[in-house]
């Protein structure tokens, strides 16, 4: 009996060691990394089979029983995962239970227009181009904002997403983020603002974003445009003209362009343009609703990123001569 007990003990120890080595040992993969997609509602047995089918050299029956015996089989989360060469049965289950999906990111930059956003999404890694063939109107309808202009409605930020996600999902998040940021800014608006709605604030913020070379100048630039709106003076801002020209703009803004009548030409039309011209960030949104306490009606670039502000046209002309014409 004693010999039998020893044999059984040795066998148990051997089995235990073999199990430990299998659970924690690296599994072979068909490539450096493989993608695993776990669909919602997949059973532990189906998940184990999907791991093998993804390119992991493992017995799916053994893997299934490991899922079961671990007590965590019901905690496996659906998602898109990336398994690497050092993956073991233990680490695979841990990743599935924690929901550590393979994430990528795409950055939407302050001052970008809608076309630049869409171009960036097309180039984003492992992002399904669900909206690639949609018009701007169809895009906003799918986002849940039918009839709302798409320009400027997405908040510039870096967005992470799981491999296999859609560009529509990213845009939905960016649209919700802009809704929150715009609402928060509008709630902090100055009582003296000439703006009548949050939508007008978004449009003005987009102009401020495009006109600003130095972040600290945003409130002053917003003050210039607010002062002009208040007295009925045309905004006369180049970025709106350029936006209205669209693909026709070749990088050189000519006098004829300033006279070309488009809905966004603020040299020939009064008030704000009909839509934003770009995506404003938080700084531009706050500047639009909380402009500086200034009487300035003009500004000109100094050439170092900052601007020179003037109250009168004479002052402005002198500043133009100094900073633009080198006189």
Q: Where are the domains of the chain?
A: 2-98, 103-182, 189-323
Residue found by looking up tokens 């493992």 in the block: 58
- Enter the tokens of residue 270: 């009064």
Strands 298-301, 307-310: pairing is antiparallel
Q: Give percent above pLDDT 70 in the chain.
A: 94
Is pLDDT at 18 greater than 90 in this prediction? no
Question: Which pTM does this prediction carry?
Answer: 0.79
Is pLDDT at 15 greater than 60 in this prediction? no
3-state helix, strand and coil shares in percent for the chain, rounded to the nearest 5: 50, 10, 40
Superfamily name and number for 2-98:
Endolytic murein transglycosylase (3.30.1490.480)
Note the pLDDT tens digit of each residue in 33-82: 888 888 889 999 999 999 999 899 999 999 999 999 999 999 999 888 88
Note the pLDDT tens digit of each residue in 224-283: 999 999 999 999 999 999 999 999 898 899 999 999 999 999 999 999 999 999 999 999
Number of alpha helices (DSSP H) and beta strands (DSSP E) in the chain: 13, 6
Rounded CA-CA distance 57/55 in Å is 6
């Amino acid at each position: 009996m004693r010999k039998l007990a020893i044999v059984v003990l040795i066998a148990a120890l051997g089995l235990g060691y073999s199990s430990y080595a299998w659970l924690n040992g690296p599994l072979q993969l068909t490539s450096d990394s493989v993608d695993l997609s776990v669909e919602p509602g997949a059973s532990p047995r189906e998940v184990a089979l999907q791991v093998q089918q993804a390119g992991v050299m493992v017995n799916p029956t053994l893997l299934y029983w490991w899922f079961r015996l671990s007590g965590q089989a019901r905690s496996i989360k659906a998602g898109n995962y990336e398994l690497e060469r050092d993956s073991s049965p233990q680490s695979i289950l841990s990743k599935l239970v924690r929901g550590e999906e393979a994430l990528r990111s795409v950055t939407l930059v302050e001052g970008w227009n809608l076309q630049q956003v869409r171009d960036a999404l097309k180039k984003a890694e492992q992002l399904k181009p669900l909206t690639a063939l949609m018009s701007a109107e169809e895009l906003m309808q799918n986002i849940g904002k039918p009839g709302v202009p798409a320009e400027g409605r997405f908040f510039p930020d870096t967005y992470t997403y799981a491999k296999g996600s859609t560009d529509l999902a990213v845009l939905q998040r960016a649209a919700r983020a802009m809704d929150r940021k715009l609402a928060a800014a509008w709630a902090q608006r100055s009582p003296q603002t000439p703006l009548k709605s949050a939508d007008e604030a978004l449009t003005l913020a987009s102009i401020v974003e495009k006109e600003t070379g130095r972040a600290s100048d945003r409130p002053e630039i917003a003050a210039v445009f607010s002062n002009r709106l208040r007295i009925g003076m045309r905004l006369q801002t180049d970025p709106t003209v350029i936006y209205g020209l669209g693909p026709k703009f070749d990088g050189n803004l000519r006098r004829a362009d300033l006279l070309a009548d488009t809905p966004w030409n603020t040299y020939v039309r009064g008030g704000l343009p009909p839509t934003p011209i770009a995506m404003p960030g938080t700084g531009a949104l706050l500047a639009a609703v909380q402009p500086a306490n200034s009487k300035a009606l003009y500004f000109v670039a100094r050439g170092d990123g900052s601007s020179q502000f003037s109250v009168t046209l004479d002052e402005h002309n002198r500043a133009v001569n100094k900073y633009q014409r080198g006189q």
